[in-house]
Structure 1
Amino acid sequence: MPKNKGKGGKNRRRGKNETEGEKRELVFKEEGQDYAQVIKMLGSGRLEALSFDGVKRLAHIRGKMRKKVWVNQGDIVLISLRDFQDEKADVILKYNADEARLLKQYGELPENAKINETDTFGPEDEEVDFDFEIDEI
């Protein structure tokens, strides 16, 4: 049996991309782009996003971001709108919490947008009240 030669496989030897502490320039939306909040992760690099113009879209995470930038429910993202399919979009960029707060201060995001929470900014769904008793056998 071969002897283990180290601590981990080729991914460890390749090195980690550590850019978390680094500040990057804030990117604003351009024509054909919009800000959105992730409602639901669907798998296969897809997600459901509610853009701040009120339209729910199926968004696809671009290949450069997949497996490098982890997008979660409640995150603020920049999406590229499609000319030919209004109900679909592509995720270009994920904003971290500090960048999303700055966008809110600059007036790019609406005041009712919730940052750093899993709840979305959209209309509140009425919660179902489960007041019933269970009879014991």
Structure 2
Amino acid sequence: MSDNEGRKNLRMPDDDEVFAVVTNMLGANRVKVRCMDGVERTARIPGKMQKRIWIREDDVVLVEPWDWQDEKADITWRYEKQEADQLRDEGHIQE
């Protein structure tokens, strides 16, 4: 049995994406996120995710900050709880 027994290969951020933790639900498909680059942003839940993926406070997500407005972002991915725990264990996410 290796240490990697329970490890899944998780989706890692692309060049323009950052890890973020949902801190607040704002309504109207928007959430407040605390990004790992130290910026607090308002993130939009895109239409294709709204009905299929349920996003709650303290979820770990990937966001893509907007080029023209750095305080806003789009959510591109949500991690399951055990995936988020794995990311924390590996040091990708600091609380």
TM bucket (normalised to shorter chain) is 0.7 to 0.9
Identify the residue that residue 48 of structure 1 maps to in structure 2. Answer: 32
Higher strand share: 2
What RMSD, in angstroms, separates the aligned Cα atoms of the two structures?
1.4
Secondary structure, aligned partner of 1:69: coil
Q: Does 1:83 align with 2:71?
A: no
Q: TM-score, normalised by structure 2?
A: 0.85
Match of 1:68 among 49, 52, 60: 52
Unaligned segments of structure 2, at least 5 residues: 1-7
Overall identity of the aligned pairs, in %: 38
Match of 2:78 among 74, 79, 94: 94
What stretches of structure 1 move > 2 A for 4+ residues in a row?
A: none
Unaligned segments of structure 1, at least 5 residues: 1-23, 114-137
1:35-70 C-alpha deviation (Å, 9 max, x unpaired): 111111111111111111211101000111102111
Identify the residue that residue 13 of structure 2 maps to in structure 1. Answer: 29
The 8 Å contact of residues 29 and 35 in structure 1, kept in 2 or not, is answered as yes
Higher relative contact order, structure no. (Cα contacts within 8 Å, ≥ 6 residues apart) = 2
How far is the alpha carbon of 1:25 from its aligned partner?
Answer: 4.8
Q: TM-score, normalised by structure 1?
A: 0.60
